[in-house]
């Protein structure tokens, strides 16, 4: 018998969601509203009051951690083992199905599951076997392509509208290898289960009859295939209990469909909707800011978070002169907060993109404040940064075998492991460094013509970089290294969030180099000092958990977490919302949801910061405050006093989703002198311009001086473009 006090502790909205009748239910659970408690209590209610057998319940989550937490809570409530229940992730449950019905699925009884690296190795072998260029047919891009198609429920023979048939051919070959080796990948676990159930009506009827009650957590994160699998098993008579929050749908870039939760009522029969709006995490003032922002989204089901806790402190807004000032402000505040007996681990610094962590890391290191990058790597530990550092190292120290190994086939240039093994063996036998080895082997032409050409290209790249080290400053040297190594073009030619992030990090490395050079004007060897500093930061300065570190993370990594104190940084147009992600109609609403998620991570104190300018692309760019700041009413934000005169003043205007953001409409009384004092040209941020090809646009920011001045212009028909002013032939309107 269950203790009724468990249910009595629920608030009214939670009780309604737990005690509702059987049937299809959608629970809109706001951030911090106790959704895990509701899910657990609902399962207990089904067993205790509706006489549902545990074996008739299927509970699906997105992480093993969430599944384990629900199991533990349920066992505590029921005081019995939850062994009879099917609890698990989508992939875990589908694996279980396939282990039972492997024959019907057309696979081996003893199939193996491929992880991401296994999958990538197979694709690489296929590309090599077809004699394809990895620069044109990137293994990671193909991996993403295959997984995306499977997530949509498609095989290679059902794909429509793809321009390159070789993608389909590689997909087919990949599937063939999987079958030959009795292997399945993660996407296949769900797709095979779906196909097996769809093609076997008797088995499907069995599971429809067995799992009359299906529970799903984080429903807003389901993709197309997961949604269709749920529809299939639930059928016309099932009871699907879906818990999610359309306002926290932030994974569209990896296949999640926010529309699944929005269309729930249309896709399932007799749906009843419940809202969980009471928040147990944040103060009233933080929730007011979150509600005001997310209300600007048009495509949402709608809810309004509230709390019975105290109103709390105001949400603070800090306008920084530049990113140095922003980082200094955050460092000062952390010092104040730790003196107030807050632990450093209670403080989180959130940012939209990984590259923004760099200046923050510098500030924390300078103050000897330990920190941890949650869900990612420190700046100098990131692969693309280590790649460029390695190219610089081999160019100044040809004996650096570690740098050689990292750069010789990076990006891929057709130098495989067999060739590398022969290089290592030759060098060992002749007591040569690997760099000396390839030059010696090249002279003796002991390699095939194709490999020989790749080796020649690599040698020329390194020699060219070495030559540039004598004449260029640090920033320009790094810029040229990203180009000569072809790493920049390699990432630019790839699609996806990961590649965009790598390009941003490469650009930030240029800005980091410029700041380092300015701060070390008395250095006898600036490049050597910079390389040593990079090694130190990637090594001995790493904080340990017992040091109580500050938490640094992207907003995506912060999903599901909470902190007493949150700094939300880098809220400038082009950075957040991120202009590089503007590739779909729903991009802006997802960016706003991302900002909403960031705000609702804060429990007690929230600091929002933006800078009037940042070092971007290796030079200083003037920026505008994010439209998300503009969308928050003035009376909900308290401006923190600064040591400089603010550049921007706001007036609130009605936001229109269909129109692009007009900076001119949102800014007034800004300093013309601030925008033009370094340049002979007369213009202002927010000014309208006209170009003979691109049409009308608005100046968003600028970088450079005099003849090298570049304007960042948001054109109505062509989007954002950088134009050199002296060549652009602009009409200023």
Catalytic residues: 35-36, 217-218, 248, 601
Beta strands at 613-616 and 57-61: parallel, antiparallel or unpaired: unpaired
Query: Using an 8 Å Cβ cutoff, are 359 and 562 in contact?
Result: no
H or E element that contains 60: strand 57-61
The span from the CA of 194 to the CA of 258, in Å, is: 21
| 28 torsion bin: left (phi>0), alpha (psi -120 to 50), beta (else) | beta
Dihedral angle, C-alpha 485, 489, 493, 499, nearest 10 °: 70
- Token readout for 333 is 């505040």
For 20, residues 6+ apart whose C-beta sits below 8 A from its C-beta are 272, 274
Query: Using an 8 Å Cβ cutoff, are 375 and 595 in contact?
Result: no
The angle subtended at Cα 362 by Cα 338 and Cα 537, nearest 5°, is 110
- 3 state SS for 5-66: HHHHCCCHHHHHHHHCCCCCEEEEECCCCCHHHHHHHHHHHHHHHCCCCHHHEEEEECCHHH
Query: Using an 8 Å Cβ cutoff, are 488 and 482 in contact?
Result: yes
User: Nearest 5°: phi and psi at 705?
Assistant: -140, 155
Write down the H helix ranges in 469-603.
Answer: 474-484, 487-492, 497-519, 526-537, 555-558, 587-599
Query: Using an 8 Å Cβ cutoff, are 566 and 313 in contact?
Result: no
- Token readout for 315 is 């949400």
Beta strands at 315-320 and 637-639: parallel, antiparallel or unpaired: parallel
Query: Using an 8 Å Cβ cutoff, are 434 and 401 in contact?
Result: yes
Write down the H helix ranges in 284-430.
Answer: 284-294, 323-339, 357-366, 383-396, 401-407, 417-430
Query: Using an 8 Å Cβ cutoff, are 274 and 265 in contact?
Result: no
- Tell which residue, 560, 701, 617, has the closest CA to residue 63: 560
H or E element that contains 688: strand 688-691
The span from the CA of 195 to the CA of 193, in Å, is: 6
- Token readout for 196 is 């097996």
- Residue 570 is given by DSSP the state -
| CA 79 from centre of chain | 40
The span from the CA of 192 to the CA of 104, in Å, is: 10
User: Nearest 5°: phi and psi at 570?
Assistant: 70, 35
């Amino acid at each position: 018998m269950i203790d009724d006090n468990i249910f009595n502790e629920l608030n009214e909205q939670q009780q309604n969601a737990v005690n509702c009748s059987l049937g299809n239910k959608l629970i809109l659970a706001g951030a911090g509203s106790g959704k895990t408690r509701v899910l657990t209590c609902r399962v207990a209610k089904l067993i205790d009051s509706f006489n549902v057998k545990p074996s008739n319940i299927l509970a699906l989550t997105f992480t093993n951690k969430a599944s384990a937490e629900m199991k533990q809570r349920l066992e505590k409530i029921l005081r019995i083992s939850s062994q009879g229940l099917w609890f698990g992730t989508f992939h875990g449950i589908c694996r279980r199905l396939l282990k039972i019905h492997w024959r019907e699925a057309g696979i081996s009884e003893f199939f193996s599951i491929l992880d991401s690296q296994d999958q990538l190795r197979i694709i690489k072998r296929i590309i090599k076997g077809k004699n394809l260029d990895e620069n044109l047919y990137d293994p990671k891009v193909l991996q993403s392509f295959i997984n995306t198609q499977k997530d949509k429920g498609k095989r290679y023979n059902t794909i429509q509208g793809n321009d390159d048939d070789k993608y389909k051919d590689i997909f087919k070959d990949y599937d063939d290898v999987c079958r030959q080796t009795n292997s399945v990948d993660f996407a296949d676990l769900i797709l095979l289960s779906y196909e097996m159930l769809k093609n076997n009506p008797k088995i499907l009827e069995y599971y429809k009859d067995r799992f009359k009650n299906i529970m799903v957590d984080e429903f807003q994160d389901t993709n197309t295939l997961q949604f269709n699998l749920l529809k299939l098993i639930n059928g016309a008579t099932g009871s699907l209990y879906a818990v999610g929050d359309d306002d926290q749908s932030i994974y569209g870039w990896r296949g999640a469909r926010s529309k699944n939760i929005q269309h729930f009522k249309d896709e399932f029969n007799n749906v009843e909707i419940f809202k969980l709006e009471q928040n147990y995490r944040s103060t009233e003032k933080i929730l007011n800011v979150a509600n005001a922002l997310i209300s600007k989204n048009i495509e949402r089901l709608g809810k309004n978070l509230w709390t019975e806790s105290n109103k709390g402190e105001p949400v603070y807004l800090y306008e920084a002169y530049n990113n140095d000032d922003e980082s200094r402000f955050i460092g000062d505040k952390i010092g104040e907060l730790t003196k107030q007996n807050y632990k450093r681990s209670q403080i989180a610094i959130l940012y939209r993109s990984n590259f923004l962590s760099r200046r923050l890391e510098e500030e924390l290191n300078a103050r000897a404040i330990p920190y941890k990058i949650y869900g990612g790597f420190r700046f100098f530990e990131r692969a693309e940064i280590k790649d460029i550092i390695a190219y610089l190292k081999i160019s100044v120290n040809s004996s650096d075998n570690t740098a050689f190994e990292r750069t010789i086939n990076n990006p891929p240039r057709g130098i495989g492991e067999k060739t590398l093994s022969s290089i290592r063996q030759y060098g060992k036998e002749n007591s040569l460094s690997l760099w000396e080895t390839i030059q010696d082997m090249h002279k003796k032409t002991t390699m095939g013509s194709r490999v020989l050409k790749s080796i020649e290209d690599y040698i020329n790249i390194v020699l060219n970089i070495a030559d540039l080290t004598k004449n260029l400053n640090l920033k320009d040297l790094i810029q040229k290294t990203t180009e000569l190594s072809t790493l920049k073009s390699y990432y630019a030619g790839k699609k996806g969030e990961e590649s965009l992030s790598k390009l941003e990090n490469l650009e930030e490395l240029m800005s980091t180099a410029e700041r380092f050079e300015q701060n070390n004007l008395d250095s006898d060897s600036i490049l050597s000092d910079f390389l040593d500093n990079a090694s130190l930061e990637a090594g001995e300065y790493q904080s340990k958990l017992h040091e109580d570190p500050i938490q640094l993370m992207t907003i995506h990594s912060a999903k599901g977490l909470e902190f007493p104190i949150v700094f939300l940084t880098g809220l400038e147009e082009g950075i957040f919302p991120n202009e590089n992600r503007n590739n779909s109609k729903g991009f802006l609403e997802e960016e706003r949801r991302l900002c909403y998620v960031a705000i609702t991570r804060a429990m007690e104190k929230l600091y929002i910061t933006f800078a009037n300018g940042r070092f971007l692309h290796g030079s200083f760019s003037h920026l505008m405050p994010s439209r998300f700041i503009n969308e928050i009413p003035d009376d909900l934000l308290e401006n923190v006093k600064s040591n400089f005169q603010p550049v921007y003043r706001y007036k609130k205007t009605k936001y229109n989703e269909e129109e692009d953001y007009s900076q001119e409409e949102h800014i007034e009384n800004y300093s013309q002198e601030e925008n033009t004092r370094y340049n002979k040209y007369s213009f202002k941020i927010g000014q309208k311009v006209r170009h003979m090809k691109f049409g009308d646009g608005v100046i968003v920011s600028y970088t450079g001086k005099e003849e090298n001045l570049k304007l960042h212009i948001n054109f109505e028909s062509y989007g954002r473009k950088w134009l050199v002013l002296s060549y652009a032939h602009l009409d200023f309107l």
